[in-house]
Chain A
Amino acid sequence: MNAFRLVGDLCHLAAIVLLLLKIWKSRSVAGLSGKSQILFGLVFVTRYLDLVTNFVSPYNTIMKVFFLSSSIATVYLIYTKFKATYDGNHDTFRMEFLLIPCALLAIVVNHEFSPMEILWTFSIYLEAVAILPQLFMISKTGEAETITSHYLFALGSYRGLYIMNWLYRYYYENNFDVIAVVAGIVQTVLYCDFFYLYITKVLQGKKLQLPA
């Protein structure tokens, strides 16, 4: 474990907690893409199948349990409890356009052709693009609530910090996973446009508004 990865995991944790706080306090899922949350749930389910078979550390297990349960809870809140506030008309990104290419790529490009490893690879590829429905929805509505933009900033930062973690592990632990690194770079690049808007607008106290 290194500081980059620890801070990255804490950013990820903060993002998920921020999202749950937003939903619970505002009693609304307005502006949230249920599709992205479904994809994130799928990412955790397919990645953490080794939760019981492969013990890494208490920290690893606790975080996996929290990520799994919180992502499933978020999907539940969006599609059942606060369904009345879910803005389905703007959450129209076709998930199959992400699921099918990620599945095919995971079958073709992986470290080992075994079910667990292909599912892990699928989860890595899917995580890289899972935020697209949310970013697409913001581009359609033209704006995002401030707390939603904090959520996105924390979520985008987590994988950016992981890139530094991979650099660190490459130089000091001689550990390198090209699949995770390439997907992680793609994932972080997808947030760049949002990062620019967040830093130039939200941090200036303005609402996140996309140029019409």
Chain B
Amino acid sequence: HNHNLVHDEL
């Protein structure tokens, strides 16, 4: 799971 996929936008 590539962790840069945290979606921090609404």
Contacts and interface: CB of A to CB of B under 8 A. Distances in A.
A162 to B, nearest CB: 8
Interface residues of B, number: 8
Contact of A112 (B1, B8, B9, B10): B1
Interface residues of A, number: 19
Contact of A114 (B1, B7, B8, B9): B1
Contacts of A64: 10
Interface string A41-66: 00000010010001010001001100
Interface string A80-96: 00000000000000000
A35 interface: no
A67 B10 contact: yes
A5 to B, nearest CB: 7
Contact of A56 (B2, B5, B6): B6
Contacts of A143: none
A111 B5 contact: yes
Interface of B: 1-2, 5-10
